[in-house]
Structure 1
Amino acid sequence: MATAAPVRTILLYSDDSSVRETVRGAVGSVADSAGTVIEWLDVATHAEVVRRADLGGIDLMILDGEADKAGGMGVCRQLKNEIFECPPVLLLTGRPQDAWLASWSLADVAVPRPIDPIELQRAVRRVLAGEVVAGAAL
């Protein structure tokens, strides 16, 4: 009898559905060579990010730093300050020069736009493999 592949849950926040689609397409549905499956939780509002984070069970949060109304940088800082044992956060920044803002937000990893699928996939895999520890410096 075959055992089910492990599942890792990624919360993906952006108010722009095309950004969410680009991220999911770049990362894919398998997290590693062992066949770990990624379960995507697409979220388009700040309130839903907070609600889902409060529920727990998230292995990684990818937040769009360029989201309207509530940008991912501010949302990240809020979550890192309010959620006990907040999961790691990968922040999508507007450009490479925004790394200092990602640091201010307390993000664990930052990936700049334009999104390089290989760089994003590597960053996600490193976090899910435990190579990037939540709360560590960028």
Structure 2
Amino acid sequence: MAATVLVYSDNAHTREQVRLAAGRRPAADVPPVEFLECATLPAVLTALNGGGVDVCVLDGEAVPAGGMGVCRQIKDEVFNCPPVLLLIGRPQDSWLATWSRAESAVTLPVDPVEFADALASLLRGRLAVEA
């Protein structure tokens, strides 16, 4: 069974970077992933309220609703919110990722090795909780 990864960014190129970096399976010990792409905050909220999302990848540079604010909002509003991997513009923004309550953060542009490792780690934790 595949894991569902929600990818939020207003930028189609960023969403593509995420898909390519993760590949079909970010690590050998996690299930294959399917991507649910969202370009707006209402689409993210609708997808999360529908359930079935295992990990969220949120673009901290998205406009008009940045991923950091979206992360904080979903952590407050979504019951059993999935873990969040935040894409940040600069390493110095990691404190904002902490403020937003994201479980992990990587910098843009997406580094495939760093991203796949971070995503696989969140998937392992989420799937262990569900087991």
**Fold match by TM threshold 0.5:** yes
Partner of 1:99: 94
Deviations 1:56-89 (A, max 9, x none): 1000000000001000000000000011110000
The structure whose residues are more often helix, as a share, is: 2
Deviations 1:74-117 (A, max 9, x none): 00000000111100000000110000000111111011123211
Partner of 2:61: 66
Q: Equivalences for 1:1-138 in 2 at 5 Å?
A: 6-34=1-29, 36-130=31-125
Structure 1 segments, 4+ long, off by >6 Å, are none
Give me the whole-angstrom Cα distance separating, in 2, the residues matched to 1:114 and 1:56: 29
Q: How many residues align?
A: 128
Scaled by the length of structure 1, the TM-score of the pair is 0.87
Pair member with larger Rg: 1
Q: CA deviation at 1:35?
A: 6.8
Partner of 1:3: none
Give me the whole-angstrom Cα distance separating, in 2, the residues matched to 1:44 and 1:38: 19
AA partner of residue 73 (structure 2)? Q
Q: In structure 2, list runs of 5 or more residues that go unmatched.
A: none
AA partner of residue 51 (structure 2)? G
Scaled by the length of structure 2, the TM-score of the pair is 0.92
The answer (yes or no) to whether the contact 1:96–1:113 under 8 Å persists in 2 is no
The answer (yes or no) to whether the contact 2:88–2:105 under 8 Å persists in 1 is yes
Matched residues, percent identical? Answer: 49
Q: CA deviation at 1:47?
A: 0.5
AA partner of residue 75 (structure 2)? K
Q: Which has the higher contact order (CA 8 A, sep 6+)?
A: 2
